Copies of this chain bind each other. A is one copy, B any other.
Amino acid sequence: MTQTTEREQRFEQGKAVLDAIDGVGGANVVDALADVSPELAHQVVAWGFGDIYSRPELEPRDRQLVTLGMLSALGGCEPQLEVHINAALNVGLTPKQIVEALLQSAVYCGFPRALNATFAAKKVFAERGLLPIV
């Protein structure tokens, strides 16, 4: 198998994971990168999703939980939070669990990060008709 074929194979594997988890949100990111940094799009898919995300050592649901923690803490990642809050719903986390995880971020990252992340969640929940969370 040539190196190019291997590269394509890793991309295809990652694309399947990305589509299953992130749905249209992930595909939109890949499309938006096509004319500026197709290599970054390739690496997000082939490495981030193909090599790392698809490893069986951690359940997709658990990966989303830990990822929500990271994105809340980093700050300035609202677009990525929206993608991953959608993903978290897709892999079985409930809105209540997501909201609670972001409440937990108040303890470790402070209220501003928790508020920004919770408003990103509100936007996603509204788009999916999940409000109010009770």
Contact = CB atoms under 8 A, between A and B. Distances in A.
Interface string A40-83: 10011001100111010110001101111111111111011000
A131 B36 contact: yes
B112 A35 contact: no
A73 to B, nearest CB: 4
Interface of A: 1, 3, 6, 29, 32-37, 39-40, 43-44, 47-48, 51-53, 55, 57-58, 62-63, 65-77, 79-80, 96-97, 99-116, 118-119, 121-122, 125, 131-133
Contacts of A68: 66, 69
A53 B48 CA distance: 17
Copies of this polypeptide in the complex:
6
A101 B62 contact: yes
B97 A48 contact: no
Nearest to A105: B70
B107 A108 contact: no
